[in-house]
Structure 1
């Protein structure tokens, strides 16, 4: 089994999980452009998408900040449940985008947690 290098996980702007978070957030934020939505769906998707992008950028810039992965998981879960909570399940494209992006964001956050923990430990050793 391959071991993730602590040196790679500690370098800013190099973690693919965090880049995936940035892309997923951008897709969520921009999706009201190409899908039919209502006001609640549009604002929910734009705000959650922007927050996901922002969290991804912070995680990329500060790879030792473990809290960013937790924030990512929470934001992904919020994106996943938002079609039901905000009442836009009838907008199929918008709802499916929220479900897929939310689920993938949670998965990426959970996968990045060991990397962030290793980077945090590495930063503490300097």
Structure 2
């Protein structure tokens, strides 16, 4: 189970202990040099990097598709290029899904925090 989905499930559980646990995890900060990121932003950034990487690999594979000098080489490597393209397409959709989960988890954390503040007032 993706960790972003698990965090969303904890936030939506309705049980205060699990909600506080998920909000505590979302408040963790990661410091790289002088730059400080929230945990959710850090993982969303990593997911966005992998998504961008797969987009670049798909574009590279599409550009390479017609580069075979002869019919024999074309037949020989067509299956391998199709497998590589499928692999990158699969990774693209997985990366997009993971990025979406982290963005949803970040938004849920904010909405629940605002709801609790409004409830107290």
TM-score computed with the length of structure 1 as normaliser: 0.41
TM-score computed with the length of structure 2 as normaliser: 0.42
Would you tell me which structure has more strand in proportion to its own residues? 2
